[in-house]
Structure 1
């Protein structure tokens, strides 16, 4: 389960930013999570709840996860389509010349602080 490591990485990064900006507490963290990012939202949420209790800066911090759909682009016909539903082969022209344009992200979108 790499979600715990991901959670620690997020918190470590935010602790550095908080220290640089004299932040007393982080009250909310919003993440963007791509549909095919390999991070499981339920595991991430559970890890967050556990880890937040262990770090004073995050004692009451709420985690919000915004899911981003996976979208693939076809170089052959120029269409985009839902990746999870159709995979690597374009449903419009059947070309395998495709690439993921969205859906693997894992970003800290915003934080609220005191």
Structure 2
């Protein structure tokens, strides 16, 4: 389960920012999670809940996850389509000459502090 490592990485980064800005408590963290990022939101939420109890800065911090849709671009016909629904094969022309435009992101979007 790499979600625990991801959780620790997020918290480590936020602890640095909090220290630089004299923040004593984080109330909420908003993450953008791409639909095909390989991070499972429910596992991430469970890891966050467990880890937040162990770090005073995040003791009561809420984790909000916003899912970003995965979109693929077809080089042959120039159209975009939903990746999860159609995979690598373009539903418009049947081409496999496609690439992911977005949907694998993992970003800290917003932090609310006390």
Compute the TM-score of the two structures, normalised by the length of structure 1: 0.98
Alignment of 1:30 with 2:30, yes or no, is yes
What does residue 3 of structure 2 align with?
3
What does residue 56 of structure 2 align with?
56
What does residue 87 of structure 1 align with?
87
Question: How many angstroms does 1:24 deviate by?
Answer: 1.1
What does residue 12 of structure 1 align with?
12
Q: How does 1:62-77 map to 2 (within 5 A)?
A: 62-77=62-77
Compute the TM-score of the two structures, normalised by the length of structure 2: 0.98
Aligned residues: 114
Distance, in Å, in 2 between the alignment partners of 1:110 and 1:12 is: 15
User: Alignment RMSD, CA only?
Assistant: 0.5
SS, match of residue 4 in structure 1? helix
- Which of structure 1's runs of 4+ aligned residues deviate more than 4 A? none
What do residues 26-47 of structure 1 show as CA deviations (whole Å, max 9, x unaligned)? 0000000011100000000000
Instruction: Give unpaired runs (5+ residues) of structure 2.
Output: none
SS, match of residue 109 in structure 2? strand
Distance, in Å, in 2 between the alignment partners of 1:9 and 1:86 is: 32
SS, match of residue 84 in structure 2? helix
